[in-house]
Amino acid sequence: MVARFVTGNSIRGILRYNEDKVTEGEAVLIMANGFATEIDKLNFHQKLYRFEALNQLKPSVKSNAVHISLNFHEADKLDTGKLQKIAAEYMEKIGFGEQPYIVYRHLDTNHPHIHIATNRITRGGNDIYVNKIGYRLSEPARKELEVKYGLIKAEGRNLENEPYLKPAEYGTQPTKKQLNNITKSIMRDYAYTTFNEYKAVLAQFNVHAERGHEDSIMYEKKGIVYSIRDENGNPVGVPFKASAFYRGATMKNLEKQFEDNRSKRKHKALDLKSRIDGVLVRFKSVSEQKLSNELAKEQIALMLRKNESGQIYGTTFIDHKNRTVFNGRDLGKEYAANGLRRILSDITETKKYLSEEPKLSMAEESRNSDPSDRREKTLLDGLLDKADYDDPSLIGKKKKRRPDEEQSQNYQL
């Protein structure tokens, strides 16, 4: 079981997300705690009022909303009754047993998972302490519940490359359903600041977004059409307008997020640069494919923009660990096109790693240069291995830099 505990300042947004899922047939409400009447007899605004009334008891606490997801292995056989028990016991163990909360079972992925909407302000006007709650309370609760209910354990599994969302695959499920699920998840969870950055994330999940030419009516009217991509990256099947989705991923809705996302992603830039540098420092010259593969191991996707002659003119880094997107030049000049072009080569690739590594003999170098000695992973292989749970959770280890005048400097924000 994997537990994700997130605080925010909008209980309305958390409720709306889950209630929309119910409306679309992708979730069901299975439990409520702390409501004076039958939950299925309450409309959206009545549910919202229950939480907002408590939040008004201590308006100084801005981050008063809580969104929890409990994600289980697809091999766990969990009926509604067992999910209700797990949810109630988990909330009790983390100190939210007396709070009003609503539990939704989501049906949009292969593995069982539930979402819980609640708040931090108690009936006495106090706020529940949530600092480091994952380490203090959530992790012990998770482990106890895994044992009690015979759940597949999260600890000990390699969760680093497990995705929280599966890429679209044409023909496996209705196209509209896949597009709707992926666009909503990306809009909610990733911090992007332009349409092209948003489009780059969608491509990671086999979704193509198109606005048309700048002189087209569709572009002028801020229209977007979405399609599933085939193995070559080309749109396949019937495209759907953004307006076809309930509260869809329209340009109007995206533009509302651009500025907010800019501040949300800012404090994640340093971690991303550190992980990129940990890869770049290992090479004097490297092929595009090799660089992409090595970055993928750090949960980073690299997208290179090229002109018709094949020259790189732009870079985009997608950080799947922190769910942020950066144009290379926003990180620093060494991450932009000119900076990466200095080490990229389609012909040579260094086999010399950190100076601490023992120098290889000529025979060893010859063996290691043989492609049959190891299997190269594709970008998606590296990002999407062993997909079981909703959220990747492990942080990649930082690698020591080797002093070298030819290496770029690690600029700090």
- The answer to the question of residue 400 being in a domain is no
Q: Tell me the C-alpha to C-alpha distance, in Å, between residue 170 and each of 106, 111, 205, 243, 330.
A: 22, 20, 12, 21, 34
Residues 134 and 181 in one domain: no
Residues 143 and 31 in one domain: yes
Its domain, for residue 94, covers: 2-149
**pLDDT tens across 229-273, in order?**
998 889 999 999 998 886 678 999 899 889 889 888 988 999 999
If pLDDT is split at 50, 70 and 90, which confidence band does 39 have? confident
Residues 315 and 362 in one domain: yes
Residues 261 and 273 in one domain: no
Residues 46 and 119 in one domain: yes
- The answer to the question of residue 413 being in a domain is no
Question: Please, what is the average pLDDT of the chain?
Answer: 82
Of 218, 247, 265, which one is at a domain's C-terminal end?
Answer: 265
Of 104, 134, 149, which one is at a domain's C-terminal end?
Answer: 149
SS3 content of the chain, % helix, strand, coil (to 5): 40, 20, 45
pLDDT at res. 160: 43
**pLDDT tens across 99-128, in order?**
999 999 998 777 899 999 999 999 999 999
pLDDT at res. 180: 87
**pLDDT tens across 263-303, in order?**
889 889 999 999 999 999 998 899 999 999 999 999 999 99
**pLDDT tens across 6-22, in order?**
888 889 989 998 998 89
Q: In the chain, how many domains are there?
A: 3
pLDDT at res. 346: 52
If pLDDT is split at 50, 70 and 90, which confidence band does 392 have? very low
Residues 287 and 350 in one domain: yes
- The answer to the question of residue 367 being in a domain is yes
pLDDT at res. 244: 87
Please name every residue paired with 210 in a beta bridge, in sequence order, or none if there are none. Answer: 225
Question: Tokens 């090595």 appear where?
Answer: 294
Residues 375 and 276 in one domain: yes
- The answer to the question of residue 412 being in a domain is no
- The answer to the question of residue 140 being in a domain is yes
Long-range contacts of 312-317 (CB under 8 A, 24+ apart): 312/337, 312/340, 312/341, 312/344, 313/337, 315/340, 316/196, 316/197, 316/200, 317/272, 317/276
Please give the sequence-ordered ranges of beta strands (E in DSSP) within 17-124, or none if there are none. Answer: 27-33, 65-71, 101-106, 113-119
Check if the beta carbon of residue 289 is closer than 8 Å to that of residue 376: yes
User: Any idea what the CATH number is for the domain that residue 38 is in?
Assistant: 3.30.930.30
Please give the sequence-ordered ranges of beta strands (E in DSSP) within 37-184, or none if there are none. Answer: 65-71, 101-106, 113-119
Measured on CA atoms in the order 375, 379, 381, 385, is the torsion positive or negative?
A: positive
Return all residues near 322 (Cβ < 8 A) that are at least 6 apart. Answer: 265, 268, 271, 272
Residues 118 and 210 in one domain: no
115, 119, 118: which is closest to 20 by C-alpha? 115
Structure tokens at 96: 């939210």
Residues 336 and 273 in one domain: yes
Which range scores top for mean pLDDT: 156-165, 185-194, 372-381? Answer: 185-194
Ordered strands of the 65-71 beta sheet: 2-8, 65-71, 113-119, 101-106, 27-33
184, 53, 40, 13: which is closest to 109 by C-alpha? 184
- The answer to the question of residue 341 being in a domain is yes
Q: Is 403 a residue whose pLDDT tops 80?
A: no
Give the torsion through C-alpha atoms of 184, 188, 190, 193, to 10 deg.
Answer: 90
User: What residue spans of 130-233 are helical by DSSP H?
Assistant: 133, 139-149, 175-189, 195-204, 217-220
Query: How far apart are the C-alpha atoms of 294 and 297, rounded to whole Å?
Result: 5
Q: Which amino acid is at 147?
A: V
20, 62, 28: which is closest to 44 by C-alpha? 20
- The answer to the question of residue 405 being in a domain is no
Residues 284 and 251 in one domain: no
**pLDDT tens across 352-383, in order?**
443 333 334 444 444 444 443 433 333 444 44
**pLDDT tens across 310-331, in order?**
889 999 999 998 889 999 999 9
pLDDT at res. 394: 30
Prediction pTM value: 0.57
Burial class of residue 64 in the structure, from the number of CB atoms within 10 Å of its CB (0-12 exposed, 13-18 middle, 19+ buried)? buried
pLDDT at res. 114: 96
Query: How far apart are the C-alpha atoms of 198 and 192, rounded to whole Å?
Result: 6
Residues 116 and 193 in one domain: no
Residues 310 and 376 in one domain: yes
Of 250, 265, 280, which one is at a domain's C-terminal end?
Answer: 265
- The answer to the question of residue 333 being in a domain is yes
Cβ neighbours, 10 Å, residue 91: 21
